Copies of this chain bind each other. A is one copy, B any other.
Amino acid sequence: MTKTAAIIGGGVIGGGWAARFTLNGWDVKVYDPDPEAERKIGEVMTNARRALPMLVDQPMPEPGSMTLCSTLEEAATGAELIVEAVPERVEIKHKVYAQIEAVNTDGIIASSTSGIMPTDLQSQMAHPGRLIVAHPFNPVYLLPLVELVAGEKTDAQHIEAAKEIYSSLGMYPLHCRVEIEGFLSDRLQEALWREALWLLHDDVATADEIDAAIAYGPGLRWAQMGTMQTFHLAGGEGGMRAMLAMFGPCLKWPWTKLMDVPELTDDFVNKVGGQCETQAGDLGPRDLERIRDDNLIGIIRSLKQNNWGAGAVARAHSNALRPAMDDTKPLLTQNRVVPVDWTDINGHMNEGRYGQIFSDAAEEVMAHVGADEAYIEGGLSYFTVETTVKYIAETHAGERVHVYTTVTQGEGKKLRCFHEMKRASDGELMATCDQFMLHVSLETRRTCDPAPDVKAKVEALAALHASE
């Protein structure tokens, strides 16, 4: 049976919740007095409908309905989960809970507060046991983290039920076992933000520079390991204990207005070091380094495709290394190492990535004949019509491979290439691809003749490659 969530407050967070619930098959009833609410939620929904299904390799459930209600009571009535996402003022929240309690006696009430203690939130409720904090992160429809916090009067069963609900929405429920203002994530974030505000305030750096100091370095690590594990690895063979010995004293340096720090007694160092070792479990430093590196490669390569941040740096570096190509027979169209994100469950290069490397090889041929990025921006390109790939020998991550390309046909709209992929170390043939392309107009999406200089170059290459 379809489940129903009420969302009280339809801003960036409430709208994000509405999207995550409906896209996972829940019916949602939203209440927000803002006359602009419908438009604002609609914009978040548009983003979410596009983005969330891309994370999932399977069909998502039939989306639930979303109803904008004209009263809070209408939204809350009958919902098994009532999500509160109203402004961060405790008196507003108390009033909202009273209105909910008047019409709904058994749904879980989940506050999206980013820092108010649930004990304070539930203090005036008739049935405070069902009040929990479920604190999400923007964009709610993509980021998995949700912090779950119980107040003194919260029934433990509701935390357990919430874990199941949020897991079923594709989230990572983190139970903050000790109730504390700001919970875990925002305390950590705000510590950084405070320091950032001081840097900006004191004209040490601009917002853009402050952000660069994170996004090109520590932020890439934080996407896959927190500070504790990151520093445990940065400590080399001595792990976190070595980091505390080396940098612990610096934490007390007068380089900030915010320097109060726990006394680094032997007991405390053992506690921190021991927890980092527990966290690592069976994974030794070499294992964790490998995992971290594979994650960083994947992250930077994904940003490279979007030409953003660290990925834009890697792209520029790649482009600067691109060798000039002469007319040879065959052309050397790829000379690269197989990255780890190209491998599959059989431990070798995924068959789809052969398609990619041959496609990349064809792009090099295109660029060589003048059908380069500027040409494509001008509205003309080649589209692939058919490929036949033969898989001859296995290819593994880290191996350097070459692709040699022969232009086997080049006349009018037609461009046909035969690619041979060889292991660089010993020249063993690993795969071949026969690729047939047609020249198209990107405006009409139909075939057309190439520009004269491209046509001439293609025909010249085909002639060269046909010669004995």
Contacts and interface: CB of A to CB of B under 8 A. Distances in A.
Interface stretch (A75-83, A332-340, A414-422): A332-340
Contacts of A58: 318-319, 321-323, 335-336
Given A56-B314, A188-B214, A193-B227, 4 more contacts: A144-B313, A144-B314, A170-B317, A207-B278
Given A217-B145, A313-B170, A194 B196 contact: no
Interface in A234-281: 234-237, 246-247, 250-251, 253-262, 268, 271-272, 275-276, 278-279
A344 B246 CA distance: 46
Nearest to A271: B200
A424 to B, nearest CB: 9
A42 B336 CA distance: 23
Nearest to A394: B445
A373 interface: yes
A298 B170 CA distance: 16
Contact of A388 (B196, B201, B286, B386): B386
A128 B363 CA distance: 49
A340 B54 contact: yes
Interface pairs A-B: 6 shortest CB-CB: A211-B226, A352-B356, A298-B302, A145-B217, A219-B222, A355-B355
26 contacts: A12-B235, A43-B286, A55-B317, A56-B321, A58-B335, A61-B321, A138-B233, A170-B313, A170-B314, A171-B313, A178-B204, A178-B205, A187-B256, A188-B196, A188-B210, A194-B260, A201-B271, A208-B275, A211-B279, A222-B222, A223-B303, A291-B306, A299-B299, A302-B302, A353-B355, A386-B389
Interface string A339-367: 11100111100111111111110010000
Interface stretch (A96-104, A377-385, A454-462): A377-385
A451 interface: no
Contacts of A318: 55-58
A11 interface: yes
Copies of this protein in the assembly total 2
A83 B389 CA distance: 48
A95 interface: no
A353 to B, nearest CB: 6
B182 A250 contact: yes
Contacts of A319: 58
A351 B351 CA distance: 12
B250 A88 contact: yes
A300 interface: yes
Nearest to A51: B293
B199 A184 contact: yes
Interface residues of A, number: 183
Interface in A388-435: 388-391, 394, 397-398, 400
Nearest to A268: B201
Contact of A188 (B139, B195, B322): B195
B351 A384 contact: yes
Interface in A282-319: 286, 289-306, 308-310, 313-314, 317-319
Given A211-B225, A360-B57, A387 B351 contact: yes
Nearest to A343: B305
A443 B343 CA distance: 18
A302 B233 CA distance: 21
Contacts of A302: 295, 298-299, 301-302, 341
A88 to B, nearest CB: 6
A190 interface: yes
Interface in A106-156: 114-115, 137-139, 142-145, 147
A207 B279 contact: yes
A72 to B, nearest CB: 21
B251 A193 contact: yes
Contacts of A143: 216-217, 220-221, 296, 310
Given A176-B205, A226-B210, A295 B289 contact: no
A87 interface: yes
A203 B223 contact: no
Nearest to A194: B261
